[in-house]
Structure formats: C-alpha cells, structure tokens
Structure 1
Amino acid sequence: MDFIERLNALATKVRAQKDSIQTEEATKNAFVMPFISAVLGYDVFNPLEVVPEFTADVGLKRGEKIDYAIMRDNEVQILIEAKKSGSALSLENASQLYRYFGVTNARIALLTNGIVYQFYTDLDAPNRMDSKPFLVLDLEDIDNSVVPELSKLTKESFDLGSVISAAEELKYVGQLKREIAVQFREPGDDWVKFFTNKVYDGPFTQKVREQFTVLVDKAATQFLKDQVNARLKTALGAEGGLAEESGLPTTNTAPAVVVDDLAADPEVQTTEEELDGYNIVKAIACSEVKPQRIFQRDAKSYFAILLDDNNRKSIARLHFNGRQKYLGLFDEDKTETRHPIESLDDIYLHADHIRSTVRRFA
C-alpha cells in the first residue's frame, strides 16, 4: 500500500475501535504504534529507530519519560507524547514534551490522543517548542492538504528541512482554515458585524445583531452550495461538450440534485434514540415557546437542538454515539457541560435548566 492508503486504513480502524479504547496504554497499542509503524514506516521493535519510554533528565526533573522517540542516525528526530483516546490535547497536559524538546536534538514534537495528531516545532524561538501546532492531522476528518507534508516525516521520504521550511505557512494556513470553519458553523460577533457593516447602513444594535447572525449563517451556507454548483456545472459542461460532439443526449438537471446530496454528510446517521431524546427536550421547551421554533441538526459527534434553527441558540446537545451517553447543556456564557445519563428519562431531571436556556434566547 502507498502512504495515503496506509493512512486511510488506520483512519478506518480508529473509527471502528475508538469507543472501545478506555486507557492510555490501549491507545498506544491500538492507534499510536500503528501510526508510527504502518503510516510513518518506522520499526517500533527496533530501538535504533523507535525508543519507547525515552528518558532525558531535565534540570531538577529526574527520571521523567516521553512515550516515544523516533531516531535517525543515532539522533532524536521526533518526540511523541500520547494521551488517552478522546482526551483533550493541550500543552498543559504535555509538560514533559515541552521540556524534552529543549534538551534534545528533536525538531519535531508530536502530541496525540491516537485520533488527532498535533505536530510542533520551534518557529517562535530556537529550541523552544511553539505553543501552537504547525500541522494537525485528524484521522476522523483527514485534511488532504496536510498529507504531502506528513509524508515527508516517513522513514522512506524523511525530509526534515523541507518540513521545517514549510512549517510557518502550514501553521497559519491551518489555523486560518480551522477558524473559517468555526465561523461558517457558528458565526461569531466580529464575523457577523464585519459582514453586516458591508450591507447595512444603520446602527449595529442587539436586534440587528440577532437578525444578521441568522442571515450571515444562511448566506455562508448558500455561498458554499453556489461554489459547488459552479464547479459541477463546469464539469458537466465539459462532459456536455463531449456528448454533443458524439451525438449523446445532455442534461442540466444534475447539479442541484448533487448539491443536495453533498449537503448531507453520509457518515452522520440519526438514530431513533436521538430523535426520542430530541422530542423530550422539545416537549420541555414547549412550555416556553411554540414547538415550531424548536429545530434539530445532527452532526458526527453530537445531535444539536436549537431555537429558531440558529446555531447561536443552542438549547442542548445529545452525545449518544459512545457507550456512556451525555446530555450537553449550556450556561449563560454558552459553555457546554456534559451530564451523564443512564436513560432518556434522565433528561427530565434537567428540565429547569432547559427551560431557562430557552427563556434566555426567546
């Protein structure tokens, strides 16, 4: 298999097994070691290539270990710190990685939970690991633009100089893409105000803000569909030209149909349990607003329940994809807290919170 095939094979394994992984050691064995061996191509059983539990004493810190060190020519090239599958990744819970980076020859540090892989270097200050990654690989949603750079870290194509020289652009382009994606999903106040000021001459009041938050969200969605339509029409037009030359019939009805199909993520499957949970939340919320104002949107990682079909007015989220089910509720700062539930009836225990959230948005 070539590099992308190996990467996709591991991604398929992650999607199938992630809910069964309960510990950090299981994450290393099931996901991280296969990433090092199958994807990057290093022999995890050869200490000249991969050193597990790598030790390099740092100042007063003695005997600390980093999970893996990838070696080339007897020099440390990549340091890897692994966390439990699904856990949050931040430098606060990877202090060893930060300290070790400055006392070894490594130019690449990797922080991972087996699903998301964050690659760091020292762009901001020499021999000091940056606070933000220059490359992020999510095996549940692979960004094809990072694959060529990732392949440069494999044993067969190792090109550290090329990776480092491209790291700054990768870092900022990646961050910009993720921020744009966030704004398309949930437009922030600054984003809404920026576009509102382009088309609306009146004062930017709270009422205007609420109105244009919905409008900006709709305009962004329609813009993406229009872009897809344009590309499809171009492609079909080229095919149509060939068809006309060959005397075959042509049609212009495909683009709209295809775009509707593209708008729905084929990996998102709404379950009856999610719909039952939605109906319970809706029944509770209907004490405050009309039922027609309660909407639902299903995504890969959660099932969202919204007021006025506005993702700025999240009432609750149902996290039903794992073994343990959670009801996500929001405070006044729109910060989500997940509450474990054993059955759908437990949703009623949070009825007061749901009602107060709806009143706040209504």
Structure 2
Amino acid sequence: MDFIDQLRALSSRVADAKEKISTEEATKNAMVMPFIQLLGYNVFDPNEVTPELVADVGTKKGEKVDYAILKDGKPIMLFECKKSGGDLHINHASQLFRYFHVTEARFGVLTNGLTYRFFTDLEKPNKMDEKPFFEFNILDFREQEVEELKKFAKSAFDLENILTTANHLKYTRAIQNTLNDWMINPPEDFVRLVSAEFLVGKQFRSTVKDQFTLITKRAFQQLIGDKINERLKGAMSPEPTLAPAELENAGEPAPVPEGAEPSALEVEAFQIIRAIVRPLVKPSRVSIRDAASYCAILFDDNNRRPICRLRFNNENRLILGLFDDNKEEERIALASVDDIFDHADRLKSAVAGYLNPNPKEAGEQTPA
C-alpha cells in the first residue's frame, strides 16, 4: 500500500475514533503512535522511538517529552502531545521548547492527534520558532502536503533537505496568509497597484478607492473560482486515445473518457480506486465513463472490462457496484467515499482478472 493510501486509511480510523477519545493517553495510543509508525519508525523499539524521554533542563528535574525519534542514538524529532482536538497554541508547548534547546533534535512536533505542527529553529539557532513551518491535518490533506510529510519518513529523512524546504515552506505559508487577507480585505496600497493603469491621470479619491476595492475583491474571488474550475475540467478531460494493444506496448495511460461530466464526489471516488489498484497497473489505465444512472469505472476504457460502478446520483445514498465472476453486479451502500478502501481486495481482484484472464473468459460479456 502506498504512503498516501496508508494515510487515508489512518485518516478514516481517526475520523471514526476522535469522538470517543477524551484523554491525552488515549490520543497517543490511537492516533499519534500509528502516525509515527506510518512514518516508518518502530514505536516498539526504544532505540528508535523513546516515549517520555527524560532530561534535566536547568532547575527543572525529570522533564519529559512524549516521544523522541532517534537516529544513531540521538534525538532528531520530538513530539509533544495534547488530547484529541485539544488547543495547539504555542503557549502549550513549553516542554517542547525546553527539550528542543537541550537536545540535538532539529524538529519539534506539537499535535492533538488530528493536526501536526512542525517546528524548527529558522529564526535563532537552537531556539524553537514560535510559528510552525509546516502543518499537516490527518483529516484534511492535499497531495502536496503528503509529499512534504514524506520527507520526515525514516526511509527519506535528510536533515539538510528538510531544513532547506522548511525555509521555503515558512515564507510560502506567510505569503499565502497575506494573500488570503488581501483577498478578503484588499489594502489601499494593493488596490492602487493593481488599478494604476486604469486610473492614469485620475486622483485616487475616496469614491474611486471604494469602487476599485470592491472590483479588486471580486476579481480575486473570480480568479480563484476560475482556477478551481480549470483543475476540475483538467481532471475529467480526455487524453489522447490509444487502442488497448498500443497501451500494452507503449505503457501509456488509457484516457478519461468523453461524455457527461462526473460529479466532484465521483471524481474523488475514481481517484481513490486508481490509488487502490496502482500496485497492479498504471493508474491511467483505469478510466471513468459517465452514464445516465451510474458512473462506470473501466479497465483500459473498455466497457466490457468493468472494475466497478458508482451510483452517486443521490448525495445521501452512495452505492458502489462490484462484479462477481459472472459479471453480476452487487450493490453496496457506502457511508462515505472513504469506505471504498474497505473493498480494496475486490477492486484489485477485478483488475487482476483482466491482467490474467481465465480461459473461459475468452468471450467477454458486457454486464447488464
């Protein structure tokens, strides 16, 4: 299972458990330890992950940090845990601050099992910054954030590489926050800048300022909306078509087919299915084709080779259609698209059947 698939599986478990967890200890066991394990560190080996690492800090004796990840016997990353959903204000990270100062660790993580805030010492050497350079939400993450998280995995951990990108992430985050503020409430200097070419020779009076502040705000919102629509269209637009025989030789993906556009929820399910079968085939050999009453997920864009069907026409009732050996469809109700992961074995089996066809399957039939 790929790293992102493991994250999705953990995300689903955390989402189910978070309401039942009310203590810090339960948060560590049910959420934080699995997260550390997912990064490739053995939580049961004290030479690799030490719980409640003890050190004397000045006049304070017996100070403990919840987890220390070790490399060659030295701490490289410290975890301070709060209860599930607890406040992660920097004022609640006093132990993390102190431990960061007296150990060789260059990264501190403050977490409540749902959000993980990563800190380092970009401002002053050996003093943990007050603002995180990276934040990861286990219940709501994007692929770019997964790529950044991977850098902390045992197999990829490279101190200099992370410190280099930490600087970029810090300033990227700050600029994003500034732009977000400007989008909601554009400052006068910015409005002057973007409207300068339209106001040559005109005075920037109060009425003009108010008019172009509103226009700038709307332009920001429309630009963001247009970019989102472009991404959605790109995800569903057809790629150059290759015949199945050419696919085998060229190793190029099958297209996302033409026709009616799937919904955003169907596209999300489609991407999950692609991720599930990725160990068997290139994801792009898995295609989506919309129909009147369902979305077909097909192998090599061949309607005689269905992997499953998505019956998501009613948002309150999500149905996954899986096929048996006789191409008979079994309809399974889902609570959310994440439940598709529960049927990974059957989806992989469907794809494997097309890669290694049974002799009696020589004459494929289109399912009813």
Q: Normalising by structure 2, what TM-score? A: 0.58
Match of 1:332 in 2: none
Match of 2:4 in 1: 4
Q: Is the 8 A contact 1:21 1:27 kept in 2?
A: yes
- Distance in 2, Cα, partners of 1:80 & 1:234: 39
Question: Mapping of 1:167-178 within 5 angstroms?
Answer: 167-178=166-177
- Counterpart code for 1:128: K
Change (3 A) 1:212 1:86: farther
- Distance in 2, Cα, partners of 1:56 & 1:124: 24
Deviations 1:25-50 (A, max 9, x none): 2211221111111x212222211111
1:86 equivalent in alignment to 2:85? yes
- Distance in 2, Cα, partners of 1:2 & 1:231: 24
1:194 equivalent in alignment to 2:156? no
Change (3 A) 1:65 1:230: closer
Change (3 A) 1:260 1:167: closer
Displacement after TM superposition at 1:189 (Å): 5.0
Deviations 1:138-157 (A, max 9, x none): 12221322322321222232
Residue segments in structure 2 that go unaligned for 5+ positions in a row = 243-256, 268-368
- Tell me the number of residue pairs that the alignment of Structure 1 and Structure 2 aligns: 248
Residue segments in structure 1 that go unaligned for 5+ positions in a row = 244-249, 263-362
**SS of the residue 2:87 aligns to:** coil
Match of 1:28 in 2: 28
- Distance in 1, Cα, partners of 2:92 & 2:219: 39
- Distance in 2, Cα, partners of 1:10 & 1:259: 23
Change (3 A) 1:217 1:29: farther
Match of 2:13 in 1: 13
Match of 2:137 in 1: 138
- Counterpart code for 1:60: T
- Distance in 1, Cα, partners of 2:231 & 2:265: 14
- Distance in 1, Cα, partners of 2:205 & 2:81: 46
Displacement after TM superposition at 1:65 (Å): 0.9
- Distance in 1, Cα, partners of 2:5 & 2:20: 24
Displacement after TM superposition at 1:165 (Å): 2.1
- Distance in 1, Cα, partners of 2:17 & 2:212: 42
Match of 1:77 in 2: 76
Change (3 A) 1:258 1:228: farther
Displacement after TM superposition at 1:84 (Å): 1.7
Q: Is the 8 A contact 1:229 1:259 kept in 2?
A: no
Identity of aligned residues (%): 43
- Distance in 2, Cα, partners of 1:235 & 1:24: 41
Displacement after TM superposition at 1:234 (Å): 6.2
Question: Mapping of 1:19-58 within 5 angstroms?
Answer: 19-37=19-37, 39-58=38-57
- Distance in 2, Cα, partners of 1:58 & 1:153: 26
Question: Mapping of 1:225-264 within 5 angstroms?
Answer: 225-231=225-231, 239=239
Change (3 A) 1:61 1:204: farther
Displacement after TM superposition at 1:16 (Å): 2.1
Match of 1:301 in 2: none
- Distance in 1, Cα, partners of 2:169 & 2:132: 9
- Distance in 1, Cα, partners of 2:213 & 2:120: 38
Match of 1:344 in 2: none
Deviations 1:262-312 (A, max 9, x none): 9xxxxxxxxxxxxxxxxxxxxxxxxxxxxxxxxxxxxxxxxxxxxxxxxxx
- Distance in 1, Cα, partners of 2:26 & 2:207: 50
Q: Is the 8 A contact 2:186 2:217 kept in 1?
A: no
Q: More deviation in 39-48 or 100-109? A: 39-48
Q: More deviation in 170-179 or 200-209? A: 200-209
Displacement after TM superposition at 1:216 (Å): 4.6
Q: Is the 8 A contact 2:133 2:167 kept in 1?
A: yes
Match of 1:160 in 2: 159
Question: Which protein is bigger by CA-based radius of gyration?
Answer: 2
- Distance in 1, Cα, partners of 2:207 & 2:64: 53
Q: Is the 8 A contact 1:228 1:259 kept in 2?
A: no
**SS of the residue 2:124 aligns to:** coil
Displacement after TM superposition at 1:259 (Å): 8.4
Q: Is the 8 A contact 1:193 1:204 kept in 2?
A: no
Match of 1:125 in 2: 124
**SS of the residue 1:25 aligns to:** helix
Question: Mapping of 1:199-348 within 5 angstroms?
Answer: 199=195, 203=204, 205=206, 209=210, 216-231=216-231, 239=239
**SS of the residue 2:56 aligns to:** coil
- Distance in 2, Cα, partners of 1:183 & 1:12: 35
Change (3 A) 1:34 1:231: closer
Displacement after TM superposition at 1:116 (Å): 0.9
Displacement after TM superposition at 1:218 (Å): 3.9
